[in-house]
């Protein structure tokens, strides 16, 4: 059975004082699923210390190179050194803001896994691609090209995040989410074999809230969520964690 994962992505939010939310999340019992917060790089080490192993802490990006003259970037080894266990890669905001391609995401995922991190590879269609009927083709291409050759499926998480659902309050229908997740599972099975593919957590992301979490988590091949805005407040995130634990 695939492990269930409730992952929060704080994006470019969070100062030291906001670790009070992390502390509140850690203080609550979390039966039935793994919990991860992907913090801004400045908070990763503090977050790891504050969490004391009760939840996992991750980064939001890493460079493909192990070290070098890359001002402002962070390597996978640096995240590991800070205590991170996961890293988000290929988020649509990085694909848009930093022109990250599938090939670049694949190189980052390769570096992340080589350093011992779980690579959370993000993919998802734009609204124009959805309306043109290209969703499955787009996410299929992204899955094939953003997960590197030789990737370890045991160190892989895939997050389906429709670009148009992120921060918008809009979500796909349950049937649309189920269709994409089923296609992703099939794509992983073609790549890694059925048994290994079943072990890769498939997360849905995009306007997941306490009010819609249970319905999303009830869908086949949805093993958790990548949560943005609702992960910033412990009460909201814990409600989503509880819904996943009960699914
Ligand atoms: O990484 C998280 C996603 O971008 C979802 O963000 P959101 O929950 O604020 O829509």
**For residue range 114-163, what is the model confidence (pLDDT) as tens digits?**
999 999 999 999 999 999 999 999 999 999 999 999 999 999 999 999 99
Give the pLDDT confidence of 13-43 residue by residue, as tens digits: 999 999 999 999 999 987 789 999 999 999 9
Domains of the chain: 5-246 (3.20.20.70)
Give the pLDDT confidence of 149-163 residue by residue, as tens digits: 999 999 999 999 999
Q: Of residues 91, 100, 181, 221, which has the active-site annotation?
A: 91
Measured by CA distance, the residue closest to atom 7 of ligand 1 is 228
* Apex 145 CA angle, 158 and 132, nearest 5: 85
Q: SS in 3 state form for the chain?
A: CCCCEEEEECCCCCCHHHHHHHHHHHHCCCCCCEEEEECCHHHHHHHHHHHCCCCEEEECCCECCCCCCCCCCCEHHHHHHHCCCEEEECCHHHHHHCCCCHHHHHHHHHHHHHHCCEEEEEECCCHHHHHCCCHHHHHHHHHHHHCCCCCCHHHEEEEECCHHHCCCCCCCCHHHHHHHHHHHHHHHHHHHCHHHHHCCCEEEECCCCHHHHHHHHCCCCCCEEEECHHHCCHHHHHHHHHHHHHC
Tell me how far the alpha carbon of residue 236 lies from the centroid of ligand 1, in angstroms.
13
Choose the residue to mutate in 90, 204, 208, 231 for probing ligand 1, maximizing ligand atoms within 8 Å of C-beta.
208
Q: Is 91 a catalytic residue?
A: yes
Q: Of residues 63, 100, 161, 221, which has the active-site annotation?
A: 161
State the pTM of this model: 0.97
9 is an annotated ligand-binding site residue: yes
């Amino acid at each position: 059975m695939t492990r269930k994962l409730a992952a929060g992505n704080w994006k470019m939010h969070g100062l030291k004082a906001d670790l009070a939310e992390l502390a509140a999340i850690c203080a609550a019992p979390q039966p039935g699923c793994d919990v991860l917060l992907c913090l801004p790089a400045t908070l990763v080490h503090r977050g790891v210390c504050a969490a004391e192993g009760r939840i996992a802490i991750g980064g939001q990006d890493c460079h493909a190179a192990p070290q070098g003259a890359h001002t402002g970037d962070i390597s996978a080894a640096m995240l590991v050194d800070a205590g991170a266990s996961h890293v988000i890669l290929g988020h649509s905001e990085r694909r848009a803001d930093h022109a990250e391609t599938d090939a670049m995401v694949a190189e980052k995922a390769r570096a992340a896994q080589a350093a011992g991190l779980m690579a959370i590879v993000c993919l998802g269609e734009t609204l124009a691609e959805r309306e043109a009927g290209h969703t499955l083709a787009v996410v299929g291409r992204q899955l094939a090209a953003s997960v590197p050759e030789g990737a370890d499926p045991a160190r892989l998480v895939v997050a389906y995040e429709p670009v148009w659902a992120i921060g918008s309050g809009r979500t796909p229908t349950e049937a649309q989410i189920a269709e994409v997740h089923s296609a992703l599972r099939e794509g992983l099975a073609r790549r890694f074999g059925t048994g290994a593919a079943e072990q890769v957590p498939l997360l849905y992301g995009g306007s997941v809230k306490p009010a819609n979490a249970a319905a999303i988590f009830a869908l086949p091949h949805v093993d958790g969520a990548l949560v943005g805005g609702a992960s910033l407040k412990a009460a909201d995130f814990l409600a989503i964690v509880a819904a996943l634990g009960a699914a």
